[in-house]
Structure 1
Amino acid sequence: MPTTPRPVKTVLASVTAAVLLAAAAATPAHAQSPPLRDLADQQGLRMGAAVASHLLDDADYRRTAATEFNSVTHENDLKWESVQPQPGQYSWSGADRLVEFAEQNGQQIHGHTLVWHSQLPSWVENGSFTPAELTQVMEDHIDTTMGRYRGQIQTWDVVNEPIGDDAQFRNSVFHRVLGEDFIAQSLHMARAADPEATLFINDYNIDGINAKSDAYYELAQDLLAQGAPLDGIGLQGHLISGQLPQDIQQNIQRFADLGLEVMITELDIRMTMPVTQQKLEQQARDYTQVMDACLAVSGCSGVTVWGVTDAHSWVPDHFTGEGAALPIDDDYEAKPAYWSIHEALGGDGQNGPDDPGPGEPGTGTCEVAYDFTSQWGQGAVVEVTVHNGSGSAVQDWSLTWERPSGEQISSAWNSLIQQSGTTVTAGPVEWNRSIAPGGQVSFGFQTTHAGAPSVPGGFSLGSESCTIR
């Protein structure tokens, strides 16, 4: 679990449509393979990532976070020291920015975190509170933070890491002043702040069955027995490649059997540097093991990786000589771990120009499928599939259509898109320049609209008109 804001490499970029479209070539889900979020949607599963709001200035980071994940978690922007550095003085800019980003991209949000012994402002950590005073401080913080995002953030880590590695309650200001009752109190405060939210406790090193996870199992039983509104438990999943517990599924199952929702909330699987192909293959098997464990238990609702790319992972700064812990590397390239997740979610687990892609080929010479994969307010995500029904390959294809009135494309992936007035032209990127006979290519984009989204009236592949299916 990251305990301090991570030093990161910030790339300043103008977040304009032109930049986002030009950056589309970097998406890890090349060619016709659907992104992870599409596969997860089909499974009814969260596939999330921890996102840092300031890194959304980086076009590749922003696009990958939007394209690959159907859920986001604030990496640091919702922690107490970030939102309330001084008593009663709140700062929401970073947290608001990620909430807005998620809503623009049709993503769920997991709130992290409300009550935690770390990343506390000094006025809380070192305060000389009476029990009544600390209770009021907690209630004000929880009510203000959750109240601001009521109806927007669906799930919350209400209490984070209250038990130490010795399986005993951690020596925090909350436990010193209020005892272990602070956990139940926090949950009741959170329920009052947003009755519709799903409330979690969350910790690391409780992925398998061990003394610490046993302590959490007993804590969960106690909380439920006393009527505390505990809805779920987060198993963080900061793991070491080749050293995963073998009973992850059994551990998930026992918490699910208590009636709790279980999420893998902060998954990364680090390796000793330097990276080798053998290590990458082992890491891919490890990610498969975690994904399969979650998918095998109906009460496991999702998996969130702790970061978008290795370039901004917290791991190298906290584990000397270790890193490369995420499924997407420093250059936004998909690693074997990415494709192992892809396969676990029901995809083909591979990337290449010969992949058939989703959907069945049409029968016409040129057919276009234009599907809204998600919609919200005044925005939508569109997936376009172009089928070549002719007997010869289409090289350096160009698909043209008239943009529906009031719509504007803001970002795209797997295609370079140009807009001139109301005319839109989509062309290939490096890996999908050719549409084989009987083959197809797929690409996607995000659009804003004034009214309801609509399908264009017609498409042309080069000089040939296409059938819309």
Structure 2
Amino acid sequence: MRPHIRRAVLVLAAAGALLLGLATPSSAADPVLRDLAQAKGKYYGTAVTASKLNGTYATIAGGQFDSITPGNEMKWESVEPSRGTYNWSGADAVVSFAQSHNMQVRGHTLVWHSQLPGWLTSGSWTADQLRTLMTDHITTEVGRYKGKISHWDVVNEPFNEDGTFRQSMWYTKLGQSYIADALRAARAADPDAKLYLNDYNTDGTGAKSDAMYNLVKSLKADGVPIDGVGFQGHLILGQVPSTMQTNLQRFADLGVDVAVTELDIRMQLPVTDAKLAQQKADYKAVTSACVAVSRCKGVTVWGFTDSDSWIPDVFDGQGAATPYDENYQPKPAYYGIAEALGWTGDGGQDPTPTTGCAVTYSVTNQWNTGFTANVTVKNTGSSAVNGWKVAWTYPSGQQVTSAWNATVTQTGSQVTAADAGYNATIGAGGSVSFGFNGNWSGSNTAPSAFTLNGATCTAG
């Protein structure tokens, strides 16, 4: 709906930070969404911010998803900030990342009423001039990525809520014909790319989705190249349309593909267990609707982590809209997606035992009553460990409050850290690290003994 992806600054007290009691612990058999989706003949994608494609962010994006959408990097103001001067660095970075991780790319977006460069919006163009500027832009951008982008959101958000055409500069100057012109230009620039119209609040039946339906039907009748319709899926907790599957199917029956393109499900903060449970059910329902429609090609979440979500910047007091929390820990919604894609729990797999391990525990920062710690686990055995749980006992009453690269649970002084799914395998001689914040009082004595999948490790 408002496709900015920016890091949200969340006040923990207001947001009800996702601490241990609110997170669903991951296990050694955590699912890989892209694998589950492929088994269903679908893709599962995420929007990303190009500048963040490193470290844990990149590891999850490349490991869990098989489709990628640039949040802002392919929009007109990003690629042509001044007339005739192009900046492809962000878009190129997204495409390069996708190629190196065997992902498809969804191009977003070519013609939209927002995020246009000032030189374009302030110009006094004739209709012919504006049409030429639009088609030249499409030809340049689509042509640059010919053969590298599987789907394009060619026209984004053409309708008002009541189903009338949005009074954008495109419609005001060119009329409805701008949509067909844009689609034809995109087809000429890359005949193999799938061309989509994309909008929000069209997920269920209603005036706006009816208008989109009638437009697609008309374009098809006129021989205009249109391959699919994107349903953004910017939803509110507990308000997944009951007609979503029916709506997707009726578009598919027109002979076009459909996809959920920008899914997030926002809630009023603070977060609670009940809200997380509802969010899980909602993500599962949306994903299930796509699975049930054969021409639904896949689902894209609009950012996979709450640290990279646009929601708190736009909707005051709301957030926690994505499948991962700010510390890259999977939320119940992640498991709801997996269940909709056929995951049944632990798959009957237990963590593999280890024949040797060493654990290094270090406090990297300490203040007043708080601290940050890092744990490195090395597999000193001769075979890979597939799925891991590290356990220890705190001697001084310390309490873990948040964690990253692992899901940490604590009962009394007993602490267990489980892999985060994407880092479940530790090769022979390999290692994995995770970190956490905690509270201490009186003393902060390090634990002296650790186990890995029940086997005693050497403490370093």
TM-score for the superposition, normalised by structure 1: 0.74
In structure 2, distance between residues paired with 1:349 and 1:234: 30
In structure 2, distance between residues paired with 1:387 and 1:31: 9
Shift of 1:399: 4.8
Q: Deviations over 1:232-275 (max 9, x none)?
A: 00000000011121000000000000011000000000111000
Structure 2 counterpart SS, 1:425 = coil
Structure 2 counterpart SS, 1:205 = coil
Structure 1 residue corresponding to 2:189, chosen from 183, 187, 193: 193
Judge conservation of contact 2:3–2:310 (CA < 8 Å) in 1: no
Alignment of 1:96-115 (within 5 A): 96-115=92-111
Match of 1:2 in 2: 2
In structure 2, distance between residues paired with 1:156 and 1:142: 10
Shift of 1:433: 2.4
Asked whether 1:348 is paired with 2:358, we answer no
Match of 1:425 in 2: 429
Alignment of 1:257-272 (within 5 A): 257-272=253-268
Match of 2:316 in 1: 320
Supply the AA of the counterpart residue of 2:73: D
Alignment gaps of 5+ in structure 1: 10-27, 358-385, 403-411, 418-423, 437-469
Supply the AA of the counterpart residue of 2:147: G
Structure 2 counterpart SS, 1:48 = strand
Shift of 1:129: 1.2
Residues paired across the two proteins, number: 370
Shift of 1:414: 2.0
Judge conservation of contact 1:31–1:432 (CA < 8 Å) in 2: no
Judge conservation of contact 1:414–1:429 (CA < 8 Å) in 2: no
Match of 1:441 in 2: none
Shift of 1:425: 2.0
Alignment gaps of 5+ in structure 2: 10-24, 358-378, 385-421, 435-449, 456-460
Match of 1:454 in 2: none
% of aligned pairs identical? 49
TM-score for the superposition, normalised by structure 2: 0.76
Structure 2 counterpart SS, 1:298 = coil
Shift of 1:33: 2.6
Shift of 1:44: 1.7
Asked whether 1:414 is paired with 2:407, we answer no
Q: Deviations over 1:285-343 (max 9, x none)?
A: 11111011111110101000000201110001111111100111111111111011111
In structure 1, distance between residues paired with 2:96 and 2:209: 35
Shift of 1:32: 2.8
Structure 2 counterpart SS, 1:206 = coil
Shift of 1:136: 1.2
Q: Deviations over 1:170-216 (max 9, x none)?
A: 11111111100000000000000000000000000000001000000
Judge conservation of contact 1:416–1:429 (CA < 8 Å) in 2: no
Match of 1:249 in 2: 245
Match of 1:458 in 2: none
Shift of 1:3: 5.1
**1:355–1:333 distance in 2 versus 1, CA, 3 Å:** farther
Judge conservation of contact 1:156–1:200 (CA < 8 Å) in 2: yes
Match of 1:273 in 2: 269
Supply the AA of the counterpart residue of 2:225: P
**1:274–1:143 distance in 2 versus 1, CA, 3 Å:** same
Judge conservation of contact 2:68–2:105 (CA < 8 Å) in 1: yes
Match of 1:55 in 2: 52
Asked whether 1:89 is paired with 2:85, we answer yes
In structure 2, distance between residues paired with 1:29 and 1:200: 36
In structure 1, distance between residues paired with 2:333 and 2:297: 20
**1:349–1:303 distance in 2 versus 1, CA, 3 Å:** farther
In structure 1, distance between residues paired with 2:254 and 2:61: 33
Structure 2 counterpart SS, 1:311 = helix
Asked whether 1:310 is paired with 2:314, we answer no
Match of 1:132 in 2: 128
**1:355–1:394 distance in 2 versus 1, CA, 3 Å:** farther
Shift of 1:220: 0.6
Shift of 1:426: 2.7
Q: Deviations over 1:348-376 (max 9, x none)?
A: 246xxx9507xxxxxxxxxxxxxxxxxxx
Match of 1:164 in 2: 160
In structure 1, distance between residues paired with 2:168 and 2:208: 17
In structure 2, distance between residues paired with 1:432 and 1:42: 35
Shift of 1:76: 0.4
In structure 1, distance between residues paired with 2:343 and 2:452: 22
Supply the AA of the counterpart residue of 1:426: G
Judge conservation of contact 2:3–2:72 (CA < 8 Å) in 1: no
Asked whether 1:44 is paired with 2:41, we answer yes
**1:3–1:303 distance in 2 versus 1, CA, 3 Å:** closer
Supply the AA of the counterpart residue of 1:156: W
Asked whether 1:211 is paired with 2:207, we answer yes
